[in-house]
Amino acid sequence: MLSFRLKSCLKVALCTVAFAGFSPPAVAAGLMSACEAEIAANCGDVSSGRGRISACLYAHGGKLSGACKTEVETITNSRAIKRNVPAGILSLQGSEYEAGLREACTSDANRLCSGVTTGKGRILSCLYSRSNKVSKSCAAEAKMVLDQLK
């Protein structure tokens, strides 16, 4: 069973969601160019849009080239993203929300993200990148948590 820390996981997932609406096209173009090989190798089954490619790349962080890693870090550390992450994300670890998400999403993590190294929010980023493939229960639980934190 894969485990993941929601303190950093949800922060990263929300960052990737925010990326879709707040990053200039030039930033996205830089990511797509610098990470072309990594996208082909690790994210070929991921639908583009809403930051899913950047989430997939973040999930595979240990496999990124220097230029690609720099582009992914630029996106996840931008001020626009940090302004749009709910403050409650930082206090999720050990909360009732963490247990609910873990219960609802562990089987999806095992099925969709088995090749992803755990830690630093990589599992939840992987799940977000493949959000069109997660179970209804996982998607519903994640939506409920995000709605509570707004």
Average model confidence (pLDDT) for the chain?
77
Query: Is the model's pTM score more than 0.85?
Result: no
Largest CA distance in the chain: 40
Q: How many domains does the chain have?
A: 1
Is residue 66 situated within a structural domain? yes
Contacts of 34 (CB under 8 A, 6+ apart): 65, 67, 68, 70, 71
C-alpha 93/C-alpha 75 separation (Å) is: 24
- In the block, tokens 């993590």 appear at 109
Greatest mean pLDDT among 1-5, 117-121, 139-143 lies in: 139-143
Is residue 1 situated within a structural domain? no
Position 37 pLDDT exceeds 50 = yes
> Considering only CA atoms, which of 78, 96, 81, 112 is closest in space to residue 144?
96
Is residue 63 situated within a structural domain? yes
The pLDDT value recorded for residue 22 is 44
Mapped onto helix, strand or coil, the DSSP state of residue 114 is: coil
Is residue 55 situated within a structural domain? yes
**How does 61-98 read in b/e, with b if 16+ C-beta sit within 10 Å?**
beebeeebbebbeebbebeebeeebeeebeebeeeebb
Q: Which two tokens stand for residue 32?
A: 């797509």
Which tens digit of pLDDT belongs to each residue from 86-138? Answer: 555 555 666 777 788 889 999 999 999 988 988 777 888 888 889 899 999 99
Is residue 38 situated within a structural domain? yes
In this prediction, residues 43-60 reach a mean pLDDT of: 88
The pLDDT value recorded for residue 65 is 92
> Considering only CA atoms, which of 17, 3, 5 is closest in space to residue 150?
17
Range of the domain at 13: 6-149
Is residue 68 situated within a structural domain? yes
Q: Which two tokens stand for residue 146?
A: 């995000």
